Amino acid sequence: MTHKILIIDDEEKLRSLLARIVKSEGFEVLEAKDLKSGFKKLEQTDIDVVLCDVKLPDGNGVDFLQNIKGSFPLTEVILLTAFGNIADGVQAMKNGAFDYIVKGDDNDKIIPLLYKAVEKVHLQKKVQQLEKRIGDKYSFATIIGKSKGIEQVIDLAKKVAKTDSTVLLTGETGTGKEVFAQAIHENSTRAGKSFVALNCSTFSKEILESELFGHKQGAFTGALKDKKGFIEEANGGTLFLDEIGEMPIELQAKLLRVLETSEYIPVGDTTSKKSNFRLIAATNRDLKTESDAHRFRSDLYFRLNIFEIKLPPLRERVKDIAALTLSFVKQFSEKTNKKTLAISDDFLQKLESYSWPGNIRELKNIIERSVILSDILLTADVLPYEMQHQPEKASKTMSAFSMQSIEKLHIQKVLNYTKGNKAETARLLEIGIATLYRKLEEYGIQ
């Protein structure tokens, strides 16, 4: 790949000489005689490094540097001046110059500096590409599912992602809470900054406190040096606290203080620190019930519950099982160096009729096991015993006297009354719109 260098200098002979020297090193060179034409070339071509004179007919290169870095942050700028000026040099570096050199005195430095600047640009572009791939991996577009329940959840998550509000993700274990937390982060104004995840159920109270807030050397036995906590690591980015319902109640008060003041004190320290982070919390517990039973601080619960998103269990997303299965089959076929396996009807039927207590995580594990055991076709006989021998489900025909039958009939009547207006139907039934959609799907009401 040929790197492009732009030389901006109003002295034509000097500019041409410099261009020949730079071209002899294998670089592609563009030339401009003033700042206006130089900026136009920057807009038209992907320039890696700019060699720019300080004194030009239409302005000062030190000031112009800010325009370049503001519009083309990955482009590096080396400023050239006929007369060395310490104040200009200091200001140039503050404005983001790669270096500031004197013509004639520092000619030998130009080519080595160019190579260093080009190397920095190359590394910056690689980092940018990596960040984009990470962002793509955790975008909302990669969340698989077309069922009404998951589409509503994605819509809510997209709306809150643009804000800096605290988000509480609730739902059963394995429903994909961390995937949603990552997607919210990558679609927020904090994208590209740290995303730090901590599972509160993994550690004892003492270790969790140290992991969260950090500690000073000598704070406890084994604290051989200062340690940054996850709160400090998340500064500027997002802190994801999984299974927050498992956090010891003593630590909940400390976390609440951080959320209210942005200040915290590491274990064993006496000086407070500040951290600006966005909190996303997740739990499979009912924090309202836990709060009412005094097992979770009510003030922290209300602070966390600014925007709750409840993820539906997989058994309520039967329509999504086929798409999820296909995605996991592709993933694990590649991982095991196999051609993507075909999926038999009986295999998929067993998956769709299973109750999935472990949700998407359980489905993923089952597919990985099945791919390992299969060669060409995934069939029901590679599934675990309990999935192969599921009890037959009761007939979908309901008794006229059952509560389900009465509920189905009542929902149908209200739908007819509202002429199919689902929002009005949910209001009259005094239930949430998500609950109504779930019941329409469950009862097969069109």
Q: What is the pLDDT of residue 34?
A: 93
Q: What is the pLDDT of residue 238?
A: 96
Residues 150, 157: Cα–Cα separation, whole Å:
10
Question: Treating both helix axes as pointing N-terminal to C-terminal, what angle do 403-417 and 433-443 enclose, rounded to 10 degrees?
Answer: 120
- Asked if residue 437 lies in contact with residue 148, where contact means CB atoms within 8 angstroms, the answer is yes
- What's the distance, Cα to Cα, between the start and end of the chain in Å? 58
What single-letter DSSP state applies at residue 390? Answer: P
Q: What is the pLDDT of residue 138?
A: 67
Strand bridging mode 263-264 / 273-274: antiparallel
Q: What is the pLDDT of residue 394?
A: 42
3-state helix, strand, coil in the chain (%, to 5): 50, 15, 35
High-pLDDT (> 70) share of the chain, % = 93
In the numeric block, the tokens 């200001």 are attached to: 91
Q: Going residue by residue through the chain, which has 446 residues, state the pLDDT in tens, using 9 for 90 and above.
A: 689 999 999 999 889 998 999 999 999 999 999 999 999 999 999 999 999 998 899 988 888 988 898 889 899 999 888 776 766 677 778 778 888 888 766 667 888 999 999 999 988 887 776 655 554 566 788 899 999 999 999 999 999 999 999 999 999 999 999 999 999 999 999 998 999 999 999 899 999 999 999 998 888 888 888 889 999 999 999 999 999 999 999 999 999 999 999 999 999 998 999 999 999 999 999 999 999 999 999 999 999 999 999 999 999 999 999 999 999 999 999 999 999 899 999 999 999 999 999 999 999 999 999 999 999 999 999 999 888 887 655 444 556 666 777 888 888 888 888 888 888 888 888 888 878 888 888 777 76
Helices (H), 286-402: 287-292, 298-304, 321-335, 345-353, 359-373, 385-388
Q: What is the pLDDT of residue 62?
A: 87
Its pTM stands at 0.62
Residues 101, 107: Cα–Cα separation, whole Å:
8
DSSP-assigned letters across all residues of 186-254: HTSTTTTS-EEEEETTSS-HHHHHHHHH-B-TTSSTT--S-B--HHHHTTTSEEEEETGGGS-HHHHHH
Q: What is the pLDDT of residue 226?
A: 87
Interval 387-414: pLDDT, tens: 888 765 544 455 666 677 788 888 888 8
Q: What is the pLDDT of residue 136?
A: 52
Q: What is the pLDDT of residue 134?
A: 56
